[in-house]
Structure 1
Amino acid sequence: MPEAAELPTRREEAWRYSAVERLQGEALDDWREIDIAAGETTRETLVIADGENTRPTELHRWRVTVGEGATCELFAVLASAEYVRLEVEVTLHKGAHFELGGITVGGRETVREFVTRTVHVAPEATSNQTVRSVHWGHGTGNFLGNIDVVRDAQKTDAAQDFKGLLLEKGASVNAVPQLEIFADDVKCAHGASVGQMDENARFYMAARGLSPDLARRLLVQAFLGDALVALDDDDAREAMMQVALDKVDKAL
């Protein structure tokens, strides 16, 4: 069968804002399987940055099963490639926890996105997803997040929080949070907002002697920092933040 016939289209919800034309020749069925045993804690990080090993299209698809009382933490910075997508399907068993902290940054015509499906299949599991996007030029940042809570998954506590910052006209960010809940004793929340740089804050900082470039960098750093709050490794957090800030500094 020709590869083109297997490509997704933007009519599919999970690919609505994607650069599907860049998927030609990609292994769409290549999923990474991650199984976390009961009671264990696993942390995964992914950084897509400028470098000789970064391809024009970076497609990462992960299936994660989190056992009873186990924890999965995932932190990612998507800052390079013409099109980069991290897609994560998570299944949470009783008392399990899933934490996602994600950052997309980029300009030109790039598309960088997180796509998640979090399935609560048993009681008392929790999940928290925090994604921040900063884009300029004609860059696009996307977050499509689906939370499914089955009928027996009582005491579920799930949250998604997305914020986008547009540094120039022409850039865009898209958020599609979705909840499908069949249990009745749950806490599920999602929020999404998009805005521009706070000019009052920039004026305040300039009035105290900060240069425009430094003021912008500090405001961007504060904005992105929310996505990495749950990362308790200081060195890893600083390194990931540096990748994101370097991308902004080089472009503007």
Structure 2
Amino acid sequence: MTQNATLPTRRDEAWRYADIDAVQRLGAGALDAWDEINVADGDTWHHTMVVGSDSPELHRFRIVLGAGARAELFATNIGGDFTRVEVEVTLGTGAHFEFGGVTIGGGDAVREFVTTTIHAQPNATSNQTVRSVHWGTGTGNFMGEIKVARGAQKTDAAQDFKGLLLEAGASANAVPQLEIFADDVKCAHGATVGQLDEAARYYMASRGLSPAQAQRLLVQAFIGDAFVELEDEAERETLLGAALTALERVTL
């Protein structure tokens, strides 16, 4: 069997918007490289990351949360080539999963987050907030699947995606999926894509701010939602700073 025979195609739902040519450059071996994380009952796993370079990147996490455990993952994706962060998390009783992510950039790169959140036991909660800012012909994707098992009553799961397109050639895609087998649950998702508020830009210009300064402030406010639940101020500034540094590459 050749290596390409094991690689995904766009017919695979989870890879629908991916850069398949870049995935082929990564090779089939990269698809088996999962970070396996087991969080014991009552413990917390916390991780922040800035990902992206001029070569394709694939970061995969498989997380299992014990009863009352918590996982927190916050990421800024600034890839100059295809960059994908993929998370599969299984929640025990009363566990919580928190995810905040930003994809940002131009060029023709595809930057994406893909999550599968499995509520396997009752009383677990999850919250995912993703913001996407793109220009040129850049693309930001969020594919988030929530699965609620038959016995996972009192599940409370939420996803929120917002995309901001700074140029007409850019795109953002959100694919929320729900698979629910319990009847006493709360599962919500929302997705919107738009452009910068011209009224806000005009107001800032009238107060003496340059177009670049106004754009930076508006984008900073927009992406800040993804990191609201990140308590460490230094980590939050690192993630926001990486995103805003990427923004400096565009002049509109």
Q: TM-score, normalised by structure 1?
A: 0.96
Structure 1, residues 41-72: CA drift from partner, whole Å, max 9, x if none? 110112115xxxx4510001110001100100
Instruction: Name segments (4+ residues, structure 1) moved above 3 Å.
Output: none
Unpaired runs of 5+ in structure 2?
A: none
| Equivalent pair of 1:48/1:81 in contact (CA under 8 Å) | no
Q: Is residue 2:51 matched to residue 1:48?
A: yes
| Equivalent pair of 1:58/1:81 in contact (CA under 8 Å) | no
Partner of residue 213, structure 1: 212
| Equivalent pair of 1:133/1:163 in contact (CA under 8 Å) | yes
| Equivalent pair of 1:159/1:188 in contact (CA under 8 Å) | yes
- In the TM superposition, 1:117-128 aligns within 5 A as 117-128=116-127
- In the TM superposition, 1:151-162 aligns within 5 A as 151-162=150-161
- In the TM superposition, 1:13-28 aligns within 5 A as 13-24=13-24, 25-26=26-27, 27-28=30-31
Structure 2 SS opposite 1:9: coil
* % same residue: 62
Q: TM-score, normalised by structure 2?
A: 0.96
Structure 1 SS opposite 2:10: coil
Structure 1, residues 201-238: CA drift from partner, whole Å, max 9, x if none? 00111111111110000000000000000000001101
Partner of residue 29, structure 1: 32
Aligned-residue CA RMSD (Å):
0.9
| Equivalent pair of 1:10/1:20 in contact (CA under 8 Å) | yes
CA distance in 2 between partners of 1:131 and 1:170 (Å): 21
Partner of residue 170, structure 1: 169
Q: Is residue 2:3 matched to residue 1:3?
A: yes
Letter of the structure 1 residue corresponding to residue 190 of structure 2:
G
Letter of the structure 1 residue corresponding to residue 16 of structure 2:
R
Q: How many residues align?
A: 248
- In the TM superposition, 1:89-168 aligns within 5 A as 89-168=88-167
Partner of residue 195, structure 2: 196
In the TM superposition, what is the alpha-carbon distance from 1:197 to its structure 2 partner? 0.5
CA distance in 2 between partners of 1:118 and 1:214 (Å): 38
Partner of residue 244, structure 1: 243
CA distance in 1 between partners of 2:5 and 2:58 (Å): 18
| Equivalent pair of 1:118/1:146 in contact (CA under 8 Å) | yes
Structure 1, residues 49-102: CA drift from partner, whole Å, max 9, x if none? 5xxxx4510001110001100100000000023100001000000000000000
Structure 2 SS opposite 1:251: coil
| Equivalent pair of 1:66/1:90 in contact (CA under 8 Å) | yes
CA distance in 2 between partners of 1:236 and 1:251 (Å): 25
In the TM superposition, what is the alpha-carbon distance from 1:20 to its structure 2 partner? 1.3
CA distance in 1 between partners of 2:51 and 2:80 (Å): 8
| Equivalent pair of 1:31/1:63 in contact (CA under 8 Å) | yes
